[in-house]
Structure 1
Amino acid sequence: MAKKIEQKIVNYQVLKDAEPEKTTKPARTESSEQDKVVHLHEKLQRPEMLVGSTYKIKTPLSEHALYVTINDIILNRGTQHELRRPFEIFINSKNMDHFQWIVALTRIISAVFRKGGDVTFLVEELRSVFDPRGGYFKKGGKYMPSLVAEIGDAIECHLRMIGMLRDEGLDEHQKKLVAEKRAQYESAVDSNHSAGDSDDFPEGAQLCAKCHTKAAIQMDGCLTCLNCGESKCG
């Protein structure tokens, strides 16, 4: 039907047949799922409850043990992107000699945890700290250069438990060599026990700072070494 235009034309537009809207949801499904994945970063709010583990550290340098607690946050719970990552660390002990630097260390490590990303470098950094007074051997014969290094060892154990660190494994030759060395060590330990060498000093004696022997005990209120006679009382 024709219509007469009685006014001046100031604008015009060409009308087309209505086209069905193209659905793009299937193509963006994967990207939309990725957008919903929560990553650990420093602005992530702390949940009311965190899952954690506590590790006991008993050294010959102190009569009181240290308890290292590492709490984890679970990201994307119930999905295929679920991850368990360390969120904070606390260290508690009856020994207050190291209270100041332990508090500082836990705050710094917790801040690194909350940054996210690869935090496994902390293990090597802490295990590279050496005590100028000398290290000690922990149970099982493993040498610890310092108390800080053993805290790093506890963090390594936790990262392995949650899957952030994995053992590369040994080949057959290395396994055979380790088994031979273990057998030699166990035979040497058995011979020492039979000879009575392990009973020279009292059980629970601490490491002497002078002769580096586990022979220091509390006598008359002072730490005295039964091997070299070193005493804090002079």
Structure 2
Amino acid sequence: MYKIKENKFEIKEVKYEEPLDNVTDHILERPDVVNAKVYRLRSGFVRHSVYITLGYITQNGKNRPIEIFINSKDLTKNAEYAVLTRLISAIFRKSSNPVFILEELSSIHDPNGGYHKNGKYIHSFYSEIADVIEQFFREIGCMDEEDEDDKMIARHVNEMLNPEPEVKTDVNTEFFICPECNQKTLKMENGCLTCVNPECGYSKCDE
């Protein structure tokens, strides 16, 4: 803000304070017992099924998420899952409206490309986690109409900036990194992810 004083400009800093209804001033403490839902995620980006546990509590008559746990028997992914668990859980406890995490996760694109699943193009493993969290939000009723509109707008913008690749045939000739042999020899064919490396033979189909 500028003020004219004796033919001189006086500059004053104006600080913006975010409304208190958007950010809590303390980290929500975890009670001894919480409600939880467990989801099984079968992803084409990882070899083994991933189990996602989402906990929630009822506060002021409204359900709100408080924590997430991501587990798999694939020990090579433990560090990555631990980071996601800690960061997302911190957002759940710090923010009174953590719906924005859906947009952030959905906007991540795997550099090796995605694949089609149930008629939808999946950009990355993180976007699949976002879909699970969104389902959880809907089931516990913590998404209102405004959140739905914001999510829809964000999805349309993301689709415009990152259009879905055209698939002209049933066979996708693009290759991805195989989770078994770590070679770029994995392709989608007839609804199945198949590694063409003769020394590997990894294959996974949607069930």
TM-score by length of 2: 0.60
1:135 and 1:145 in contact (8 A); partners too: yes
Q: Which residue of 2 aligns with 1:164?
A: 142
> Do the aligned partners of residues 127 and 92 (structure 1) sit closer, same or farther apart at CA in structure 2, a change above 3 Å counting?
same
- Partner residue of 1:123 out of 102, 109, 127: 102
Q: Which residue of 2 aligns with 1:20?
A: none
Identical counterparts, % of pairs: 36
Q: Which residue of 2 aligns with 1:85?
A: 64
Shift of 1:167: 6.4
> Do the aligned partners of residues 83 and 215 (structure 1) sit closer, same or farther apart at CA in structure 2, a change above 3 Å counting?
closer
Shift of 1:105: 1.2
> Do the aligned partners of residues 144 and 41 (structure 1) sit closer, same or farther apart at CA in structure 2, a change above 3 Å counting?
farther
Matched residue SS, 2:102: helix
> Do the aligned partners of residues 40 and 133 (structure 1) sit closer, same or farther apart at CA in structure 2, a change above 3 Å counting?
same
2:186 and 2:194 in contact (8 A); partners too: no
- Partner residue of 2:42 out of 53, 58, 63: 58
Q: Which residue of 1 aligns with 2:187?
A: 212
Point out which structure has higher relative CO (alpha carbons under 8 A, 6+ apart): 2
Of structures 1 and 2, the larger Rg is shown by 1
2:66 and 2:92 in contact (8 A); partners too: yes
Alignment of 1:88-167 (within 5 A): 88-138=67-117, 140-166=118-144
- 1:72 aligns to 2:56 (yes or no): yes
Uncovered stretches (5+) of structure 2, i.e. residues with no partner: 1-22, 149-169, 172-178
Aligned residues: 146
Shift of 1:117: 1.6
Higher strand fraction (1 or 2): 2
Aligned amino acid, residue 212 of structure 1? K
2:50 and 2:71 in contact (8 A); partners too: yes
Q: Quick one: distance in 1 between partners of 2:112 and 2:119?
A: 19
